[in-house]
Amino acid sequence: MAEKCSRELKNLLLNSKGVGKEPPRIAEETEKKIIALKYSYLDLESMKPILEEIKSEMVKLLELLGGKEWVKKAKTRGMDEEKIARIKFCMNIIYNLDSRLKLPPDPAYAVDIRLGEVESVWKHPNADNLKVCNVNVGRIITVVTNEPSVKEGDKIPVALLPPVELRGVVSEGMFIFSMQDGSRKEGRIGNLPCLSEEEKNCVRKEVMKYLR
């Protein structure tokens, strides 16, 4: 996942106006480091120095893009919402690589999974069967869902999947629902929740779609 995201990040930056030459170069160098790690067969402890370098590269990249104000600056340059969301997704996947490597080697954990709290819900402007939710997963993201029972205050696991535009609204994640418990969970917002095998399987399917 991190390897593909670094490649996608490089291509997104290469095709973005006003970002300069350095951001795509950083993405390319990061891709090389991730591939080197992949074939190094090092244990996690031995990987730490390279993983720290990769984290530092993502921090540097963020600063080059405009720091905390980079999204606002990107919009003024005409970058669309989906492209902005995909750049954020790729950078987060790469930045959090060290945390995911501590988890079991399961495709479900190839993306970040967080316990989210629904802060607001409204009807999708262009689709009667969809809802748009602002969800706090440690930061605020948008999730478009067809689950009719979602309401403000719900705590639900969220898989931070590659962003996709659904009828004009960009969704940055997917609620993980289980037929067993409805997936309303307790725990700290932004942490990795305990998932059933059914819930993990939902995420695996979406991860494999992206990796194909």
Rounded to the nearest 5 percent, the helix, strand and coil shares of the chain are 50, 15, 35
From the candidate CATH numbers 1.10.645.10, 1.20.1440.150, 1.10.760.10, 3.60.21.10, the one assigned to the domain spanning 2-99 = 1.20.1440.150
Block means of pLDDT (10 residues each) for the chain, 212 residues, are 97 94 97 95 95 97 95 94 97 97 94 96 95 97 94 95 96 84 75 92 94 88
Q: What residue ranges do the domains of the chain occupy?
A: 2-99, 108-211
The confidence score (pLDDT) of residue 19 equals 92
Q: Tell me, yes or no, if the two domains 2-99 and 108-211 fold the same way.
A: no
Domain 108-211 fold: OB fold (Dihydrolipoamide Acetyltransferase, E2P) (2.40.50)
Residue 177 has a pLDDT of 83
CA distance 199 to 212: 21
- The pLDDT value recorded for residue 129 is 94
For the record, the structure tokens of 160 come out as 């931070």
